[in-house]
Structure 1
Amino acid sequence: MKTAAATPTAPDVPETADDAVRVAVVVGSNREGRFGPVVADWLLSLIREHDDLVVEVVDVADISLPTTLSPTPEATAALAGVTPKLAAADAFVVLTPEYNHSYPAGLKNLIDWHYTEWRAKPVALVSYGGLAGGLRAVEHLRQVFAELHAVTVRDTVSFHGASAAFDDAGRLKDPSAPDAAAKVMLDQVVWWGRALREARERRPYGG
C-alpha cells in the first residue's frame, strides 16, 4: 500500500456565500510513514464539492510545539502559523489514527496549546485504524473537546483496515459508504457551524 507523508493542501474553493462555514481540517498524526494524508486528501476532495464550506489545513506534522507548554521563542513562532487558523474557524474536522487505544500525542499537544479557539464551536471526527477503525480514539477525543466547551457532532467517518480500503494511488476502492457517511457528517458541520457562529455573535459565550 502506497502511503503519503506530505502535508495535504486545501483545495481551491470557488467563491461562496457570505454564510459559508470556515472549517479547519486538523491532520492529527506526525508518525513516520503515516497514512493520514491519504485519508485527508479524500476528505478534502469531498469538502471541495461542498459550496458552503471554506477550508484550511492544520497538520500536526508541520508544527513544532514543545510538550512542556513553555512559551519559548520557537513555540511562539509555531503558534503564529497555526493559532490564527484555529481562531478564524467556525468548525473543525479532526482526522485521527488510533495508537494503543487512543489518539496521537502530537494531536493532544496541539489541542492543549489552545483553549478559546475551540470554545462553542463544532468538531467532527474522522478516524482510521485496524479492526476498531480508530473509534476508541474518537471516543477519547469527545471527552477532551467537551472539557474545552466544544461540541462534537454525532456522526463520524471511520476506516476499519484503512490501508486495504485505498488503492496504490490513494483512491478508495469502494467510496460509496465512506462518501455517504462523510456527506452526513459535513452537513452536520455546516448546520452546527452556522448555528453556533450566530449564537456567539448574538451573545458571547461565557461558559
Structure 2
Amino acid sequence: MDRAGTGQGDAGLLRLALIVGSVREGRFGPVVSRWFAEEARKHGAYEVDVIDLAEAEHELPVAFTKFGAPMPPAVEAVHTRLSRRLAAADAFVVVTPEYNHSFPAPLKNTIDWFRDEWQAKPAGFVSYGGMAGGQRAVEHLRQVFAELHAVTVRETLSFHMAWERFDRDGRPRDEAGSSAAAARMLGQLEWWGSALREARAKSPYGAAS
C-alpha cells in the first residue's frame, strides 16, 4: 500500500518517492511505474510513495500572478500536500518519457515549485520511449537535479520501444534482466539515501554554505 509520505513509517526503511512524470492521455508511464514500484518494495529497503502527476490532486499551475505573492487557497493546498510528501522522502525515482529530446513540461513545472524538499537527497531515473529509450530526457534531468543540490545515481533503467518490451500483464519481457538493472539502481539509491539521511540528521543541509 502506498503511503502519503508523512514521515511516520518504519524508521529503518528509506522513504522513496516514485514520481510518474507523464500526464498525457493514453500514456505508458503507469505500466512502467507499477512494475518498478513492485521492484522497489521487493528490494526490502524502501517504503514507497507513488506520486502520479496526472492525478488532479497534484496539479499545480504553470504560474500565478506575481513571484512571491500569496497563493490562492486551492493552489496552496496542493502545494502543501506535495511539499510534505517530497520533504518526507529520503530518495526519489522519476519515471519519465522523452518528448522532443527532453522530459515533459508538467514534470519540470512540478520540480520548479519546490526547492528545499529536493536538497541533499539522491535521485534515480527510469525512462522509456522509442529508439532512445528516454535517455536524453534523463540527461536533462541530471542537470536540473544538480542545480537543486540533489545527487543523481549513475545506474538507470531505460526501456527502448517500451510498448514492445512489456507484456499484456505489465511485466517486462526480459524480466530477469530488467529486475537485475532495477536492483543495481535501488542498491545505489539505498547507499546514498542512508548516507545522506544520516548526514541531514547530524547537520541540516545549507545550500548557501
Same fold (TM over 0.5): yes
1:91-146 deviation digits (Å, cap 9, x = unpaired): 00111000000000010011000000000000011100000000000000000000
Q: Is structure 2 residue 63 aligned with structure 1 residue 65?
A: no
Contact 1:69 1:113 in 2 (8 A): no
In structure 2, what is the equivalent of residue 143 of structure 1? 143
In structure 1, what is the equivalent of residue 195 of structure 2? 195
Secondary structure of 1:145's aligned partner = helix
In structure 1, what is the equivalent of residue 83 of structure 2? 83
Q: Structure 2 matches for 1:118-133, cutoff 5 A?
A: 118-133=118-133
Q: 2-side partners of 1:69 and 1:198: how far apart? A: 37
What one-letter code is carried by the residue in structure 2 that aligns with 1:67? V
Q: Which moved more, 1:42-51 or 1:150-159?
A: 42-51
Q: 1-side partners of 2:13 and 2:138: how far apart? A: 26
Q: Is structure 2 residue 5 aligned with structure 1 residue 10?
A: no
Deviation at 1:10, TM superposition (A): 3.0
After TM superposition, the runs of 4+ consecutive aligned structure 1 residues lying more than 6 A away are none
Deviation at 1:169, TM superposition (A): 2.2
What one-letter code is carried by the residue in structure 2 that aligns with 1:68? A
What one-letter code is carried by the residue in structure 2 that aligns with 1:139? E
Secondary structure of 2:159's aligned partner = strand
Give percent identity, aligned residues only.
56
Q: 2-side partners of 1:21 and 1:10: how far apart? A: 14
Contact 1:17 1:52 in 2 (8 A): no
How many equivalent residue pairs? 195
Secondary structure of 1:176's aligned partner = helix
Q: Is structure 2 residue 14 aligned with structure 1 residue 21?
A: yes
Contact 1:103 1:140 in 2 (8 A): yes
Secondary structure of 1:23's aligned partner = strand
Task: Return the TM-score normalized by structure 1.
Answer: 0.90
Deviation at 1:17, TM superposition (A): 6.1
Q: 2-side partners of 1:74 and 1:17: how far apart? A: 31
What one-letter code is carried by the residue in structure 1 that aligns with 2:41? R
The runs of 5 or more residues in structure 2 that have no matched partner are 4-8, 66-70
Q: 2-side partners of 1:69 and 1:91: how far apart? A: 29
- What is the CA RMSD across the aligned residues, in angstroms? 1.5
